[in-house]
Each structure stands twice: as structure tokens, then as C-alpha cells.
Structure 1
Amino acid sequence: MIPSEANAPVLKLQDIHKTFSGITAIENFSLEVYPGEIVALVGDNGAGKSTLIKIISGVYSPTSGTISIEGETVTMSNATMARSHGIEVVYQDLALADQQSVYMNMFLGREPVNGFGLLDRRRMIAETESLVKELDVRIPSAHATIRDLSGGQRQGVAIARATHWASKLILLDEPTAALGVAETAKVEEIVLSLKRRNIGVLIISHSLDQVFRLSDRICVLRRGKQIGVRETAKTDKNEIIAMITGLQPV
């Protein structure tokens, strides 16, 4: 999907600037992400990619600049506020509770209760089983304990949880960094399925092969500066590498 004037961006960052103790981490960054679009954020270590994700998700507040969700300027003062705007994040460490079941992880911190004030386990199990089936996350059952799952299955659960709660945007920080070839392919299928749900996706990845398989557009960061944005179908790895490294003129 390529953005057009016919649809409004789910996320708009305008002139985002972030400093830490006088050191500039992000400088004048602007980007739009549209519903059903996958935008890849690429750059070397220290480029500012994770800082941007944390700004969007409410972990950090920008020093200056604006964040808009579906045309409304918002203040992301904490992660709870970001979630209230339909934004979910899958970090590299997944933030799963290893000792808990899949269904408990799916509702971690947002557990529903029944009319008696008790955990509505039946509802949690049913919704978990429905979602993992829809996304084709191959786990033994909703009752399985997280620690007993493979890396790919855990990643699938983390993405499924984000999918369950996200209504507008999912942020993915290196979702397949620690996975093998087969598990990576499975997670990529799940990411692509988010397009069909009309959810915007902003993904950080060091793998340019993955970036070109998944993304509609590629945004390049270098030392906190936005170097440029390219439509994936109209660029190639050589141009993106040149933008990342600065070794060739863009």
C-alpha cells in the first residue's frame, strides 16, 4: 500500500526533536504512517530508532515537535496513554511473563472479570484461541506456559497480544532478531497479516532482506537525523546502504 491523499495517516510525527542532557538524540524528524501500511525504520546502532519508538509509545516525551493520531494532536506522556490511542509495542525482550500461560499473557494487566468480580478465564481463553488461530500462531494451546514455547512461538504470542489490543498502530523493535529462518518466516507472515487488518506497522529491522520483503516504505536514520524516506518498490539495497552509511551521496 502506498499513501495517497484519499486516506489520512494513522500516525504523523512533525519536527520531532529529542535531547538528553543537552545531547541531541533525534533532530527534526517527520514521518507519516498510514492504515494498512508497513514502514521500516533503518539505520546503524545509535541512529535513534529505538528512541523514536519510545517517543511514539509514551516512554519518552519529545523535547519539541508534535505527534498526531488520525489527525488529532496528542501528548504521549506515558505508555498507558499510547495504548489508549490504539498503539501497541513489541519490544526485543517481548515483555512476556515466562511463568504464566499464553492466555494470561494475552491479557496481562488488562484481565477481565465476571459478574462475581473473579477473573473471566473462560473469556480470556476463548479470545486467545480465536486470535492465535486467526494469525496462525502455532502453539500447543492457550493454556501452554510461555517458558515451554520456542522463540518463534513466543514472538508470535507477543505480536498476537499487540494485535489483540492495537486498533491503529503496532510498533515492532527487531521482531525476529533472535529467531531462525523458519521462525522468522512465520513471524513475517503474521506481520503481513496486520496489513489485512488495516493496522499501521512501524518496524525496526537490521535485516535489509526482511525490510524489502515486508515494507511499503523505508525511512533511514543516521546519528539522529532523518536522511530520507523511499518507496520500497522504487529503491534498492545499494541506495539504502548508502543512505545508512553516508559513504555515497544520496
Structure 2
Amino acid sequence: MTDPKDAPLVRLAGVGKNYGNVIALRDVDLEASAGEVTCVLGDNGAGKSTLIKIVAGLHRHDLGTYEVQGEPVAFSSPRDALDRGIATVYQDLAVVPLMPVWRNFFLGSEKRKGFGRMDITFMRRTAKREMAAMGIDLRDVDQPIGTLSGGERQCVAIARAVYFGAKALVLDEPTAALGVKQAGTVLRYIVQARERGLAVIFITHNPHHAYPVGDRFLILNRGRPIGYRTKEEITREELTALMAGGAELEELAHELDAAVSGSGSRAAKELAEGADHLRKSD
């Protein structure tokens, strides 16, 4: 048996999941080690959500093995996963917009003192300190969290998970609904989490966000892995082509070329130009 000290924090081997007759996930291998970022990429319907639910303890896998620090696990709930140090930050953050930042930071885990009163001074000070340690410089932790940008709210959630003892951090499409600058902010905090020794599993559909921060890359398509590479084994262009489906793009380009040869319409020509662009970018 693998020594827990040498084992990845999270390891999936041959993991599969069925919903009735529907195969949602099959033959997935994944490792997430301390101080590394493992990126899981795929388009809608690729199986990313199912994988998140298994890692987070929301659903049990039907096939394969799931290990945490070398020990096989089968979580019954997200609380079980959290107790083992696996925290998941979902895209639709569970925050109360009108509550201050510090209140959301400790939501559900409030620090209390005599007679059950909340220790507001401690929570304010701690929230500010922990976010500063992650490189998040907030002007005022008393401001409603709803006044923060999407990227800042993601970063508060990351800092909260780190403070409450997360060893492995699962991030569900944290940059999906963000602009370029805000996405860059979140990527910077993902690197901060890695440098603090966490194992980060970064779920995304954007290879341009994944490649700069990733150490390993798992690409899913229709519930099955179509590539599992380290950064040394793949370039950004190869990662993009593998995720996009190079063969499918080439087939589309040929179809659009054929459409142009059979029609002199402006629309057909524009489609052909688009096909040529896809072929070159691939």
C-alpha cells in the first residue's frame, strides 16, 4: 500500500458513474498533489459536473477507486469530504449579498464568546488577515459582499476554504462568468493557494485560463478522458486542439469548404473563411 506521506492528496483511478442507463463518467484517472494545480477541461456535457460531485462527496462513484492520502474513501456527504480536507467552491457562490464580507467569511462557522455572543472583533480581524495572506487587499471587511466584483467574491471563498483547513481545493468554473481582468485576479489567487501547499483541482472550459496555472491537465469528452498530460508533455496549442476536438474541426472545415464550392453566396464564403481560421488555429 502507498505510504500516505508519498500519496497524492486526491487520487481517482478508473472512476465511473452511471445515472440509470446513462453513462455520465467512465475510466477517469486523476491525481491532485500538495502544491500542484490539476486542471479538468471539457465543454458542456463533458462530465465535469459529475466529477466535481464525486470529489466533493455529493455523489458516490459506481466504478473504480477514490483515495485521499492513499486511503480508499466513499463519502456519504460533502461534510465527510470537508472533514478530510476537501473543500469545493462552486460557481454559484453560497454568499448572502447584503451581509458584510467578514460575516460571509464565517457564515455557518461563527466564532462565539461568553453567553453565545458572536466575537465580531475576532471575525473582522481574522477575515482581513487571512485575505491579506492570500494577496486580497480589501478596503473594508464591513462592506456588503455583494458590492465586490465576481472575482473578489471568488477570492473570498478561496481564502475562507484555506482558513478552515482545506488541504485540497476544488474550484468549479471560477472564471467562467468573469471579464479578462477579474479572471486574471482569480488565477493569481489560484497560484497563491498552490504556493501555500494546497492541492487545487481547477475545473474550466477555457484552456487559456488553465495552461498558465496548471501542472496537470485532464481533458474530458462525453464522460470519458481523451487526454491526461503534465505541463511538460503538452503545449498550450496542443491542449486547445485536444479539448476543441481537432478532428471534428477539420471535418467541419471540409464541410464548409464544400458548401462554398456549391454556392456563390456571401454567407457561404464567410463560413469558409471561418473554417479556414479554425483550421489554422487548430
TM-score, normalising length: structure 1: 0.91
Equivalents in 2 of 1:67, 1:122: separation in Å?
A: 41
> Cα offset for 1:172?
0.7
Q: Which residue of 2 is the match for residue 137 of structure 1?
A: 136
- The 4+ residue runs of structure 1 with deviation greater than 2 A are 237-249
Q: Which residue of 1 is the match for residue 279 of structure 2?
A: none
For the residue of structure 2 that corresponds to 1:171, the secondary structure is strand
Write out per-residue CA displacement over residues 166-185 of structure 1, whole angstroms, 9 at most, x where no aligned residue.
43100011111122222222
Summarize the alignment of residues 30-179 of structure 1 with structure 2, pairs less than 5 Å apart: 30-179=29-178
RMSD value over aligned CA atoms? 1.9
For the residue of structure 1 that corresponds to 2:114, the secondary structure is coil
Change in 2 beyond 3 A, CA 1:147/1:246: closer
**Residue 49 of structure 2 aligns to which amino acid in structure 1?**
S
Q: Which residue of 1 is the match for residue 211 of structure 2?
A: 212
For the residue of structure 2 that corresponds to 1:26, the secondary structure is strand
> Cα offset for 1:242?
4.0
Q: Is the CA contact 2:128–2:138 (under 8 Å) kept in the aligned structure 1?
A: no
Equivalents in 2 of 1:194, 1:114: separation in Å?
A: 30
Change in 2 beyond 3 A, CA 1:183/1:246: closer
Equivalents in 1 of 2:18, 2:52: separation in Å?
A: 15
**Residue 180 of structure 1 aligns to which amino acid in structure 2?**
G
The unaligned stretches of length 5 or more in structure 1 are: 1-5
Write out per-residue CA displacement over residues 9-52 of structure 1, whole angstroms, 9 at most, x where no aligned residue.
00011221111122000012121111011011011110101110
Equivalents in 2 of 1:34, 1:132: separation in Å?
A: 23
Equivalents in 1 of 2:80, 2:36: separation in Å?
A: 23
Q: Which residue of 2 is the match for residue 10 of structure 1?
A: 9
Equivalents in 1 of 2:39, 2:209: separation in Å?
A: 9
> Cα offset for 1:246?
4.3
Which one has a larger percent helix, Structure 1 or Structure 2? 2
Write out per-residue CA displacement over residues 43-96 of structure 1, whole angstroms, 9 at most, x where no aligned residue.
111010111011110111112322211111222111111110111111111111
**Identical pairs, percent:** 36
Equivalents in 1 of 2:150, 2:62: separation in Å?
A: 36
Equivalents in 2 of 1:161, 1:192: separation in Å?
A: 16
**Residue 158 of structure 1 aligns to which amino acid in structure 2?**
A
Q: Is the CA contact 2:17–2:63 (under 8 Å) kept in the aligned structure 1?
A: yes
TM-score, normalising length: structure 2: 0.81
Higher relative contact order (CA 8 A, sep 6+): 1
Q: Which residue of 1 is the match for residue 197 of structure 2?
A: 198
Q: Is the CA contact 1:7–1:34 (under 8 Å) kept in the aligned structure 2?
A: no
The unaligned stretches of length 5 or more in structure 2 are: 249-282
For the residue of structure 2 that corresponds to 1:116, the secondary structure is helix
Change in 2 beyond 3 A, CA 1:62/1:181: same
Larger Rg: 2
Q: Which residue of 2 is the match for residue 221 of structure 1?
A: 220
Q: Which residue of 1 is the match for residue 275 of structure 2?
A: none
Q: Which residue of 1 is the match for residue 266 of structure 2?
A: none
> Cα offset for 1:106?
1.0
Q: Is the CA contact 1:25–1:223 (under 8 Å) kept in the aligned structure 2?
A: yes
Equivalents in 2 of 1:247, 1:149: separation in Å?
A: 39
For the residue of structure 2 that corresponds to 1:99, the secondary structure is coil
For the residue of structure 2 that corresponds to 1:30, the secondary structure is strand
Q: Which residue of 2 is the match for residue 3 of structure 1?
A: none
> Cα offset for 1:211?
1.1
